[in-house]
Amino acid sequence: MTKNKQLLTQLNTLQRRLTPADSRYFDALRTYCTTQRLFSNEVAINTQLLSMLQDLLDAEKDGTDAPTFFGNDPEAMATALLAQLPPAPWRDRFGLIGVIIGITWLSVLMSSPQTTAGMVLYVTPFIVMPIFETVIILLFMRLLHITAFRQRQWLPNVILVAVFLIGVAAYLLCTAWQPLTRWTVTVPEPWNWVITGLFAVMATAVLVWIVAHVRIRSKL
């Protein structure tokens, strides 16, 4: 188990000991900090969060709640905290973007028509869609970041649905609008199946990693 997974496990275990109100407060704090993971070191973020959680648990024993202990402006406090942390390694930044690009390419490959000559690959969607999906997902993370402390619990869900629908609309536009499907490349057999298979294996590996990561990150 990596150090970051150990930190996440400890965070989830200890957060369950908080009062319901303090758990909601700390959950918003975690969301605000972790959605900044592309720019700040994730291990450093979780290490700091674990220290703060342990301090909050000690404060609760003395009858102090989270707003009293951390202050009534958690966003300003968290912003100041993030400013002191080291930046995320470039390999982590490129790794996240690489996952987005890889999954997008797989979806484009899977939807490409197969002919007797091979797979017809639309060049424009293959180039444009990864860029667009990366921007959309980064925008989603940014919106979650700036709305973490808002009282509207439904807002993140609305944002997620809106981002998903925009992504679907863009994909349909790129694959159905004739001017964008004008340029094609035919990948002959068996290379079309080799390429698709490689992307499928990589996507499966990424999916397994994401599921394992989410299970560790999941809360009550």
Mean pLDDT in consecutive groups of 10 residues from the start of the chain, 220 residues: 81 92 90 77 89 94 91 86 80 73 78 80 81 82 79 67 76 67 80 81 69 50
Reading the block at residue 175, the tokens are 């694959």
- Among 55, 84, 113, the domain-final residue is 84
- Among 33, 68, 84, the domain-final residue is 84
Q: Which residues lie below 8 Å from residue 34, measured CB to CB, with a gap of 6+? A: 42, 45, 46
Residues 46 and 105 both lie in one domain: no
Residues 181 and 97 both lie in one domain: yes
| pLDDT at site 219 | 46
| pLDDT at site 151 | 65
| pLDDT at site 39 | 67
| pLDDT at site 180 | 62
- Structural domains of the chain, count: 2
Q: What is the pTM of this model?
A: 0.67
Reading the block at residue 27, the tokens are 């959950």
Give the count of beta carbons closer than 10 Å to the beta carbon of residue 29: 23
Residues 95 and 192 both lie in one domain: yes
| pLDDT at site 210 | 58
| pLDDT at site 218 | 46
Instruction: Give residue 14's domain range.
Output: 3-84
CB-based contact 89:43 (threshold 8 Å): no
Residues 56 and 101 both lie in one domain: no
**Torsional sign, CA 66, 39, 162, 204:** negative
CB-based contact 177:83 (threshold 8 Å): no
- Among 50, 84, 118, the domain-final residue is 84
Tell me which residue of 171, 59, 168, 164 sits closest to 112, measured CA to CA. 171
Distance (Å) of CA 20 to CA 14, 33, 49, 73, 115: 13, 20, 18, 19, 58
Residues 64 and 148 both lie in one domain: no
